[in-house]
Structure 1
């Protein structure tokens, strides 16, 4: 018997798995398959299986730490009792429940309960019931009649867009209809409009970033459809489409086959097109592509230049008008690339190492997304192609990830300057390691641990909760899978940590960081207690929110972290064998009634070292940022109107604000960039956007997004001489090559070849000239691989091996593209 639950609500990103064991010895597995924080959605699937044990080994405990526990007063207990509301949703064997928040500050939650039927049933897939709450989940009303009790599909039945827009997709695949059915609402589900589509959906409808009236959909037969009136009318704009993505403005990109049919082509033989007038005209950007994506301000796509060669990556920062090949080490078909994060200034990209190594190299790009610098070696990427890379959104420039060291141990590292430098995390202030521990540091569990069901959720941070980070971790020499993961909190963006909760928990940030809530992840038993803290995890209180415990499925809180209501979701097995789905909503606003005033806030200089009195203290990426944030000892409400305020002041530039330009490297134990040995002059030529850029440089290039002023300035300003080079990669399709291009590594190799083949003095002269020209285009080597911009080759000095310099780059996103090349976006 299988029980499935999908909960959509705003707590943690991409929850995958947590396990529990019932008293009867049966293992319950909650699979959270999808989460879209921007839409306030969480998906979870509990599956009940008969088992004699939980299938997990007993874990040991790490170093002990003390944390503050405070009892609830009788008054506090009564207030919470009076403002805690429990709602039950009757289910059946095979029920599927979706919870989603709608709008910002509306208090509206929609709950969709569906009952699937076997494929051989005479029913049209099953039945659905729709419930709506307008008071943050305190009460729900059955509004199934508003959608005519239509069966809403499970896979992507509920989609929430900008504002208060909602789309419900009916499952009509078993009905002989010309198209599917959707229900649209622009008033957070108060009313719905029935729409018969002229096509059947292949994937969820995609909203425009800013205008919810603009919708794009892909049909099961490869048609690309566009609506400009929130689904009332649809127009087919192209056939044979594989994937699409909105760009800046109303730019819409899509990949399609050459013959307008999905079945007639193969990946790698697609055409990338763009429309910037909502389907009226089209521009071909490139042919022979395998996949593409859009992140930050960058369009990127991989190209199969030849069927016998690996894919090559191209980038564009101007919506595809011009583009250039990324300069990065090559990757064979066994390797992959993955864009980890990106914005309008730069990209983070992982290049996998050959073989099943579980690690690779992380690179950061320049502001054009073309020239990449090595950021971190041995970056962990597990067998599921999942990275532990995390953007700490509560403080600018902070990223957290794990690496697999040569001794086979996983260790956490953090960067405070956007990947410019990485270091291990400090030992938590309230944790002491044993004398046998060689190195005592905090190590954070990420996707690798969640995939292996060691932790229930990832590190959590929010832009409105300045400096606050909550994460599961272990303390010691490396990340441990044999110890119970504990919960650690940082209040300064990851510089300093403290242990706060023993054992794994589900946690959420409320009231812009003024309130943290947590529910223990029970592997054996059911939950009934929620813990909460008003001082960023220094002290905790516990409250029993129900008299009848239930199996936990998820925390649901309004997106944006400004609300003070949280719903605990789960189910209770009933005597008749059917599950009773339960939502318990707790209103903490009734407990914390005082509004914060000016005395409750403090001025905090981010990235600063306490006690240090220097001009550079707090300078990161060229600026100092002083935030106004809530004092830990203040017990009050930030409220819905709270906005983050900060003061910025530029710092004087130093060499640390610059990267070493290509052909230069950072000298050992200094911050000075020096020319690589044997470089004949300071001229470097690269072919970008169809033109040859001759860069005359002093060896420094400012870090993307660095805002320093004055101070250190390279001796010679960068000068650029532009001349044509090769065939300009215009918006039209490039010529297809019938054979692989032959490259030669050095001017000497080119000279020898021509001498052997020609045997004539005139030809020898041509060869010498060719060699001299090639010398200008070489970035000479030191000990590290060197990039030759003219022929895109890379050579390793130590072993003499040469390989094509192939593709490049790939959030979030944390960003999930609808049709992502497995090698590019995970």
Structure 2
């Protein structure tokens, strides 16, 4: 669709190849809308296959529907929703305002385009349905329907000697035809007629001729075959393959269509790409599934090469890629909204051979492979840059003049080791640029080139003349003194080194009012796309011959006459017939034909010339008038046969007309019929073009003979001495004079912004403002002398910038290996010294060069907070970066204590002590998850989350409960399970000891556990009771005391009261003493007190708790419990052994359990963290927590997530 506004164009294209919308030259606003007021401008839509089940009518103030390939990309509008089918829209649309809604806020970045042939050169696609040409741009609308009927001038003679034959194809049902000439010097011509409905081919018939189109035979393909397109191998033209998208089949032949074989494929073969050098290999692509397949047996079998491939994929380039089976492709986000990636792999297994993965993400539809160059584009918020890989090396940023900002790129030519490119800019102008050999630095050669955005790429009015190297023709917007902007045609004979207007003979200037401003102006791509005027014609096999439609005057106008040049564009002559004509070259220039081009007018005559346009003759090739739809010559234009395909005047029949010039040119040319021709560079009137002289052998103009298919044109070459004309201004310099021989430094140039990819200590080559044209082959002369001499410059040293450290987690475990990755955005690296300080008082690490220092591994042996600092320093500057690291000890085991035992309807106090490998532990913040067993249900348990290591819980029923506790910090988590016996009655006594025990009381957890075990064993001996009846707890205090809980007996034995009475009696009789250590005074119990529930000696308990749900979580750390080993004296070692035995009896390991990861609430930290044991006190903690398992969010309550891994212990609680 084209929408013409005041100064803006909004163009929406739906490509059949991708079903993806393009919106160019507009920006998505922050409110996700584009509003463009078109006023009363008329809107016309061409025939376009789009995916929608309804015919869309767009009215005033309605919403345009933009859609993509998948349903999830469909956007809704007032007119309905587009779905996956096809409709052809052909009516004009008119409205006042267009509003485009988008799914996200972004700007459409420019893309890299190229003139890619969509079909083989020997194929013509003919649409036999009526159509209307769009004329919606700035030029004056004009009806061209009668141009083809302009009378021919009287000096054209009728010629009946030209042989012609007509064959009517008996196919009246099909509306389209594909005409295909099978190969060079071949006689086989195919015509594929087909019928389409809603953009899909529904029926087809294949016809074959083996006599240049004199007669045709219908090919018997399978009954259900619906052939859509013809492909032939560029290596062996007799290998031909047909695609059948409807039935997912291909039909192929290896004998130019004599026999055919069919093969099923697992995809819709929307597009095939045949290998340019390996005749058995081809690629198949499905648009809808975005899958790319490869075949190594010419379509018999297929292998999926890759998924999510955009329509940009390419075979290897011979002598550039190391493997001829390399496939370059663009991998695209399946939703077609995100960035793409460049991938190169070898078929059929897709072994990755991408030359440079560092390029990362690229813009969608921006990858192009041309010869030794690979082009991609990367866009940021406000900029868009092109990157180029030369000879499959690393991608380098392409540099354009810094005072302009290119957005769209069009690759015009990449031959002769140079890139010719057109770029559209934010400054609303399109310029032509030439590159250096590497394709990295671009200098302007012609500004303000006429351009279009069509189908949907950026295209420009630029034509490369075939057959003569270095000759280009371009149309440019020129500002006249009156302020009016017009289009003028310029020609260059040195590949853009200099441009000049096209001169015409004086006798052709009669129609010009201003003889000084009278030149030949030619119609090119713009006129062809918009007005349907044929483009320029030339061929490599006919050097010097150029045929074009143009107008003599001050500017390009809508008028079109046919002009011809036989000397490569130096001089031009007007042909004696007017209007629009299809022009073809035969016999390597031996004959030229021109047939009227007009889809609404019929004809039966052909104009032809056998003397390179000096004289013209007329031939009536049929008695019936016909609509000419296509003219096809044999690839290589080496024969005297041409085929004209069209419809009869009643539109009910198709016919092929064969013109045979062998009846006129009856003898083959001899040596005397040829002359030598050396093109002249008009810019300097020398025979040297791009540094060499080429001598072409060509037929004399008046020779009445033919060249024939065996003729090989001689083109001897000789190199020229270098002159000023072989040089151009280098990047960063601009011509000072009109001859471009004096170059001065541009004001916008800043060498410090150029990345020379040069290592300090090495040298790079720099010009003095002049560079030899990349495709120029001159030698000697001014080369390497004076201002043209290249200089060796020491690689500059730049200040390091953009230093940053990256680690996986900001909170790590003590003793773990931490991998630090250093990155540097800008600046020199080779001579830079990097100093690492890990903040743990160890000697700094010093490296020379970034490669040695970019990755470091370090271990911290003590918990704490550390600042890691890296300093990069060289001769011109310093850069510093730092990172804060928290090191915490891993929780390896849990110790559970129940000071008063568990009694129904009384608070059961549970204290959890966290253990690690080290003596002095720093766990950071610890979270506890409690499950007391009386609420436990397998599917849907409720757990209690606290910051405190002590909890109180009331049990109401006597029995055994599976008590579980999990302790979690930033680097570990451990779960312990305990089988807890809840009793109906029990009594707790407080024992006070003699002061001599206080000397040994370290108040550590290990000492208290050991002493509790000793007290338990001695009391059992004194009282003659089983130790299972006693539960001993040593509070963390001085003077030393012990809380002894007496548990009931469920078998015959003394009662709790009897045990209490016995203890009191032993105390009064002085029998409450026992040995603590050898050679030490015995310890004596000095007092016994019966405790109550409100005793203040217990740890402060959490007053309130929060019920939370358990959810799965997969991010946990696996930890393993270990027995704590502490170096002590020999005496203490004995106690440790006792404690070890005690702990072995005390615990039972389990391999199952639940692990948790927490999201914390720092606002409740002060009230939730209980002050219990000193060695477990929570220290001040920063709000910043980089661990992925612990996410700090002060605004929400604690939440709990299930963790699948971790350490799980199960202990059965017993008394001693």
Bin of the TM-score, shorter chain as denominator length: 0.7 to 0.9
Which of 396, 421, 431 aligns to 2:469? It is 396
Q: Partners of 1:401 and 1:50 in 2: how far apart?
A: 27
Secondary structure in structure 2 of the residue aligned to 1:589: helix
Shift of 1:183: 0.6
- Corresponding residue of 2:692: 623
Shift of 1:344: 4.6
Structure 1 unaligned spans of 5+ = 1-16, 19-27, 174-179, 728-740, 744-765, 772-826
Q: Partners of 2:512 and 2:680 in 1: how far apart?
A: 31
Q: Partners of 1:166 and 1:768 in 2: how far apart?
A: 65
- Corresponding residue of 1:98: 178
Change (3 A) 1:404 1:665: closer
- Corresponding residue of 2:624: 548
Q: Partners of 1:222 and 1:679 in 2: how far apart?
A: 44
1:235 aligns with 2:303: yes
Change (3 A) 1:193 1:704: same
Asked if the contact 1:690/1:726 (under 8 Å) is kept, the reply is no
Change (3 A) 1:671 1:181: closer
1:490 aligns with 2:561: no
Shift of 1:661: 2.7
1:643 aligns with 2:706: no
- Corresponding residue of 1:807: none
1:361-417 deviations in Å (ceiling 9; x for gaps): 111111100010111011110253432211101211101110111232110011110
Q: Partners of 1:445 and 1:255 in 2: how far apart?
A: 35
Which of 366, 387, 400 aligns to 2:460? It is 387
1:198 aligns with 2:266: yes
Q: Partners of 1:102 and 1:554 in 2: how far apart?
A: 16
- Corresponding residue of 2:773: 703
Higher-Rg member (1/2): 2
Which of 263, 285, 289 aligns to 2:334? It is 263
1:105-136 deviations in Å (ceiling 9; x for gaps): 121111112234679xxxx9633221111111
Which of 516, 523, 537 aligns to 1:460? It is 537
- Corresponding residue of 1:503: 579
1:218 aligns with 2:285: yes
- Corresponding residue of 1:341: 413
1:288 aligns with 2:375: no
Secondary structure in structure 1 of the residue aligned to 2:440: coil
1:766-814 deviations in Å (ceiling 9; x for gaps): 999569xxxxxxxxxxxxxxxxxxxxxxxxxxxxxxxxxxxxxxxxxxx
- Corresponding residue of 1:48: 130
Change (3 A) 1:65 1:85: closer
1:657 aligns with 2:657: no
Secondary structure in structure 1 of the residue aligned to 2:271: coil
Secondary structure in structure 1 of the residue aligned to 2:485: coil
- Corresponding residue of 2:842: none
Secondary structure in structure 2 of the residue aligned to 1:448: helix
Secondary structure in structure 2 of the residue aligned to 1:336: strand
- Corresponding residue of 2:156: 69
Asked if the contact 1:652/1:708 (under 8 Å) is kept, the reply is yes
Asked if the contact 1:252/1:275 (under 8 Å) is kept, the reply is yes
Which of 667, 670, 678 aligns to 1:597? It is 670
Which of 574, 586, 609 aligns to 2:659? It is 586
Secondary structure in structure 2 of the residue aligned to 1:652: coil
Asked if the contact 2:648/2:655 (under 8 Å) is kept, the reply is yes
Shift of 1:670: 6.1
1:425 aligns with 2:498: no
Structure 2 unaligned spans of 5+ = 1-45, 48-89, 92-114, 134-140, 319-323, 801-824, 828-872, 879-1216
Change (3 A) 1:125 1:420: closer
Q: Partners of 1:685 and 1:116 in 2: how far apart?
A: 55
- Corresponding residue of 1:126: 202
The 5 Å alignment of 1:135-146 reads: 135-143=211-219, 145=220
- Corresponding residue of 1:166: 240
Change (3 A) 1:186 1:594: same
Secondary structure in structure 1 of the residue aligned to 2:527: helix
Shift of 1:420: 1.0
1:208 aligns with 2:208: no
Q: Partners of 2:596 and 2:706 in 1: how far apart?
A: 25
Q: Partners of 1:680 and 1:205 in 2: how far apart?
A: 46
Secondary structure in structure 2 of the residue aligned to 1:452: helix
Change (3 A) 1:696 1:112: closer
Q: Partners of 1:254 and 1:496 in 2: how far apart?
A: 44
- Corresponding residue of 1:316: 389
Asked if the contact 2:512/2:553 (under 8 Å) is kept, the reply is no
Asked if the contact 2:194/2:201 (under 8 Å) is kept, the reply is no
Q: Partners of 1:50 and 1:349 in 2: how far apart?
A: 32
Asked if the contact 1:152/1:168 (under 8 Å) is kept, the reply is no
Q: CA RMSD in A?
A: 3.9
Asked if the contact 1:464/1:643 (under 8 Å) is kept, the reply is no
Q: Partners of 1:393 and 1:70 in 2: how far apart?
A: 30
Secondary structure in structure 2 of the residue aligned to 1:592: coil
- Corresponding residue of 1:800: none
Q: Partners of 1:677 and 1:238 in 2: how far apart?
A: 47
Q: Partners of 2:152 and 2:165 in 1: how far apart?
A: 35
Secondary structure in structure 2 of the residue aligned to 1:410: strand
Shift of 1:572: 1.5
Q: Partners of 2:418 and 2:591 in 1: how far apart?
A: 33
Change (3 A) 1:161 1:706: closer
Change (3 A) 1:430 1:464: farther
The 5 Å alignment of 1:178-189 reads: 180-189=248-257
Once the two structures are overlaid, the 10-residue window that deviates more, 39-48 or 526-535, is: 39-48
Q: Partners of 2:336 and 2:198 in 1: how far apart?
A: 34
- Corresponding residue of 1:736: none
Asked if the contact 1:114/1:151 (under 8 Å) is kept, the reply is no
Q: Partners of 1:461 and 1:655 in 2: how far apart?
A: 30
The 5 Å alignment of 1:727-806 reads: 769=876
Change (3 A) 1:266 1:48: closer
Shift of 1:510: 0.2
Shift of 1:520: 2.1
Q: Partners of 1:709 and 1:295 in 2: how far apart?
A: 27
Once the two structures are overlaid, the 10-residue window that deviates more, 636-645 or 203-212, is: 203-212
Q: Partners of 2:398 and 2:285 in 1: how far apart?
A: 30
Asked if the contact 1:90/1:579 (under 8 Å) is kept, the reply is no
- Corresponding residue of 1:521: 597
Shift of 1:643: 1.6
Shift of 1:222: 2.5
- Corresponding residue of 1:110: 190
1:354 aligns with 2:416: no
Asked if the contact 1:92/1:115 (under 8 Å) is kept, the reply is no
Asked if the contact 1:213/1:230 (under 8 Å) is kept, the reply is yes
Shift of 1:71: 3.8
- Corresponding residue of 1:749: none
Shift of 1:671: 5.3
Asked if the contact 1:430/1:498 (under 8 Å) is kept, the reply is no
- Corresponding residue of 2:513: 436
Shift of 1:193: 1.5
Shift of 1:543: 0.7
Change (3 A) 1:247 1:684: farther
TM-score (normalizing by structure 1): 0.73
- Corresponding residue of 1:4: none
- Corresponding residue of 1:9: none
Q: Partners of 1:227 and 1:60 in 2: how far apart?
A: 48
Q: Partners of 1:415 and 1:767 in 2: how far apart?
A: 49
Asked if the contact 2:208/2:217 (under 8 Å) is kept, the reply is yes
Q: Partners of 2:289 and 2:749 in 1: how far apart?
A: 58
